[in-house]
Structure 1
Amino acid sequence: MEYSILGNDLQLVKVIMGDGEGIYGEGGHLLYKTPTVNLTAKATGGILSGLKRAVTGASFFVLELTGPGEAAFAGSTPGKIIQMQLGDGEAVLAEHGSFLFAENQVKYDVNLARLTAGIFGGEGLFLAKFIGPGNLFLHGTGHVHMIQLGDGEEVEVEAGHLLAFDAGMQYGIKRTGGLRTMFLGGEGIFFVNIRGPGRVWVRSISLAALAAALSRDMPCPASCRSQVQETREPGVTFRI
């Protein structure tokens, strides 16, 4: 298979498949395909994996594309696409909404062991696990930066900015600050603490922050004006 990542801040990835070669991906990210590409829906990993994906808000089914032919995928927000070439048995954990597509031999499952991260992190932090061999493509909102941690080194990533990390790394949720910081500080309250060795990918824009910024500039219908009140302090905005 041949891959090409095109564009700068509004990227797409094009894949050219030979006869019998195949990939699978999220249907909402498929841009186009040529008529020779066969398209089917399946619950990769079985019914249980499909149910776990549905719990996180992802699709129960994924789309399977089989060549020969060409297809392209893209993210739903401005950002960067990264390609991961996973070796045999090599695995990464990624924020489930970042998944675009992977080669058929890459195993895909959703890790629900850290539900508290999604509940308390405020960003829906559910992790998808991908196991090689094969190529995997993820999309990160904004710019994507990779951090290489040595043995015992740690990094604390604000939950909404975490994109992916190597599966063998230790991780957990850490709250920063007291109650005053929690209610007045906005972002940066819950962090994912990750310990090396391994790689961590972060995105410069969180989906929650992007949605909040866009909603502030959208006109509010008359029916909701009475429900929205703003109290401004220096550097702080409360919306009720």
Structure 2
Amino acid sequence: MQSKIIGTTLPVLEIALDAGDAVVGVPDQLSWMSGDITMTTSMGGAGGGGVWGLVSRAVSGGGLFTTRFEAGRGSGLVGFAARLPGAIMEIEVTPDRTMLAHRHGFVCGTPGIEIATAAQTALGGLFGGTGFLLQRIGGSGTAWIELGGEIVTYGLEAGQSLLVHPGHVGMFEQTVGFEITTIKGIRNALFGGDGLFLARLTGPGKVWLQTLTTEGLAHAVAPYLPAKRG
């Protein structure tokens, strides 16, 4: 199996699969494929043998189904294009290195990667009524994660904290502590009160922040969309 990420602003992940190789992802993430590729879609997990963890509807954003893309006797190619301007990152996951990512971050992974809900916080005003969710990316293997806009990384020392708007939290290592806190003194128009919700990330561990959020993009283009009727 060989992978390459093509492009910059709207990148695409291409994975060349040798005979017997496979990756698993959500069905609507596929952009194109060629060669001897078999697609198997199932509810909850894919591939059998317990190699894929449960992907909940709320976390994946693509329903309860996952699709396994597997090369048969010959080789094949699958492509996964980014949904927003940003970056696709290749991450090696081990039982000692679990990652947490934003709710739409997971693109695909090798069998052995497990995806589950990591955290849910009731911040519906910021996130369209769905609350703030994180994906836990565990197990063992390679995972590809999509982050929005430019990516800024920090290596936090033990006890060192970083306050971040929740939507800009792209991904962080499991060793990093996470909590939602309120900063007083700033008028929050969304909630009609005095206080700003921020995520507190506390080291040790590595943090990846994203400059573009789905909510921010939706807010920016909303004035130019046709008004709803009826």
Q: Name 2:105's counterpart in structure 1.
A: 98
**What does 1:221-236 align with in structure 2 at a 5 Å threshold?**
223=229
- Gap regions ≥5 residues in structure 1: 225-240
Report the count of equivalent residues.
217
| 1:89-109 deviation per Cα after TM superposition (whole angstroms, max 9, x unaligned) | 320011121110111121222
Sequence identity of aligned pairs in percent? Answer: 22
Task: Give the Cα separation in 2 of the matches to 1:91 and 1:131.
Answer: 5
In the TM superposition, what is the alpha-carbon distance from 1:185 to its structure 2 partner?
9.7
Partner of 1:115 in structure 2?
A: 120
Instruction: Report the equivalent of 2:70.
Output: 66
Partner of 2:24: 24
1:166/1:44 Cα in 2 relative to 1: closer, same or farther (>3 Å)? same
Alpha-carbon deviation of 1:48? Answer: 9.1
AA of the residue aligned to 2:67: L
Supply the distance in 2 between the matched residues of 1:30 and 1:217 (Cα, whole angstroms): 29
Relative to its length, the structure with more strand (as a share) is 2
TM-score normalized with structure 1 length: 0.81
Find 1:218's aligned residue among 209, 216, 225: 225
Q: Does residue 136 of structure 1 match 2:139?
A: no
TM-score calculated relative to the size of structure 2? 0.84
**In structure 1, C-alpha distance between the alignment counterparts of 2:124 and 2:176, rounded to whole Å:** 21
Question: Residue 58 of structure 1 contacts residue 96 of structure 1 at CA under 8 Å; is this kept in 2?
Answer: no
Give me the CA root mean square deviation. Answer: 2.6
Superposed displacement of residue 193, structure 1: 0.5
Query: For residue 159 of structure 2, what is the aligned residue in structure 1?
Result: 152
Q: Which has the higher helix share?
A: 1
What per-residue deviation string (whole Å, max 9, x for no partner) do you get for residues 32-58 of structure 1?
1114111111322889934xx213443
Which structure's CA Rg is the greater one?
Answer: 1
Cα-to-partner distance string for 1:50-93 (whole Å, 9 max, x where unaligned):
4xx21344320111111231101122111111111223432001
Q: Aligned residue for 1:182? A: 188
Question: Equivalents in 1 of 2:145, 2:21: separation in Å?
Answer: 20
- Distance change in 2, residues 1:44/1:184 (3 Å): closer
Unaligned runs of at least 5 residues, structure 2: none
